[in-house]
Amino acid sequence: MNNTSFATKSPETFSVVIVNYKTAEITKICLDLLHQHLSSDNVPIWVVDNYSADESTEYLRTLDWINLIERSVSEPEAGHIAHGKALDMVLQRVETDYLFLMHTDTFVFDKNIFSLMLNKCIKNRNVVAVGCVEQLNRGTVRTFWRFSSRLFKHHFRRLKISMGLKSREPKPYKEVYLKSFCTLWNCKLIKQHGMHFSMDDRVPGYTLQDRMTELGYVVEMLSPRKIFSYLDHIQAGTVAATGGYETTHRRTKMYNNILKRLNKDAGKA
C-alpha cells in the first residue's frame, strides 16, 4: 500500500481507521501495534491526518503500508466535527463491509479483539455495530458509584424543575452510545441506508446509532472488563497529548503514566 493506491478486500474482511491530529508519539505507538498484529493479514489501515502540519504528518508520509488521507480546511472546525468528517472520507472510500474505528490513544495488545467483535456481526447480520459505552474500565465499585451519583443528580434536577426551581438540564445517567476508541461498524448497512458518521453537530456516530436502531438494527455492547482485556485506552489521551489539560490534571497524569509504561515495554522488546 501507499498514499495513493487503496487496497481492495473481500466483503468478509475489515479495515481500520484512525484520525491523527498532532499526536506524533501516541500515533506511532498505535500504528506500530496495529502493523505488528495485522500486517500478515493484509488488513487495510486508513489514517486521516486532520491538517496537523507537524512532525506527525511527516511521520505518516514515511509509511508505505497505510492509506493516508491529508485533510485541509479553509476555516476552523470543532474537534468532533473535524473527526467526523475525517471518518466519512474513509467510509466513502473503504471497500470492505466492516470498519474498525480507533483512536490514536488506543493500544491493542491482543489481536483477538478484532475477530471477537467481527464474529458478532457475521453471526447476526442484523448487528450494525459492536463496541463499548465506557472509555475505561473503572471496576465494579467505581462503576456503581458513578452510576448511583449520576442517577441521583438526574432525578434531583428533574424534581427541582418540576417544582419550578432553577436547575441545570438533567443529564442521562446511563451511557447508551458506543465510544469510538474501538468500535466496529457494518459499512454495508450504513451505506445501504445512505447514512454516515457525521450527520449533525453531535458526537460522530451518536445520531447514526439512533437512526440505525430505529430501523431495527442491533448494537452489541461489550463490557469494559471484556474489551479492556485486549487493549489499553487513554481517556482523552489525544487532548492530553496536545496540551489540552493542565500538567496537574488527572488525565494528563494518566496519559504520562501510560506512555511511560508503553515506552518501557517497547525498550524491553
d(CA 23, CA 237): 9
d(CA 95, CA 168): 45
- What values do phi and psi take at 131, rounded to 5? 180, -160
Per residue in 153-174, pLDDT tens? Answer: 756 677 777 788 777 776 765 6
Query: Grid cell 494528563 — which residue?
Result: 252
Q: Any idea where the domains of the chain sit in the sequence?
A: 14-134+177-233, 135-174
**What is the structure's pLDDT at 223?**
94
- Please check the confidence at residue 236 and state whether its pLDDT lies above 50: no
**Out of 1-10, 190-199, 231-240, which region has the weakest mean confidence (pLDDT)?**
1-10
**What is the structure's pLDDT at 256?**
63
Q: Average pLDDT for residues 89-96, to the nearest whole number?
A: 96
Average pLDDT score, the chain: 83
**What is the structure's pLDDT at 5?**
39
Per residue in 65-92, pLDDT tens? Answer: 999 999 998 788 898 999 999 999 999 9
- Please check the confidence at residue 199 and state whether its pLDDT lies above 70: yes
Per residue in 8-49, pLDDT tens? Answer: 445 558 999 999 999 898 899 999 999 999 988 889 999 999
d(CA 203, CA 200): 8
**What is the structure's pLDDT at 136?**
75
**Residues 251 and 240 sit within 8 Å (Cβ to Cβ):** yes
One of 3.50.50.60, 3.90.550.10, 3.40.50.740, 3.30.450.40 is the CATH number of 14-134+177-233, namely 3.90.550.10
Q: Kindly state the cell numbers that stand for 26.
A: 501516541
- Please check the confidence at residue 243 and state whether its pLDDT lies above 90: no
d(CA 62, CA 27): 13
Q: Average pLDDT for residues 81-109, to the nearest whole number?
A: 95
- Please check the confidence at residue 246 and state whether its pLDDT lies above 70: no
Q: Taking the model in full, what pTM does it have?
A: 0.78
- Please check the confidence at residue 1 and state whether its pLDDT lies above 70: no
**Out of 104-113, 174-183, 212-221, 230-239, which region has the weakest mean confidence (pLDDT)?**
230-239
- The model's confidence at residue 152, banded by pLDDT at 50, 70 and 90, is low
- Is the model more confident about 1 or about 37? 37
- Please check the confidence at residue 194 and state whether its pLDDT lies above 80: yes
Per residue in 200-211, pLDDT tens? Answer: 999 999 999 999
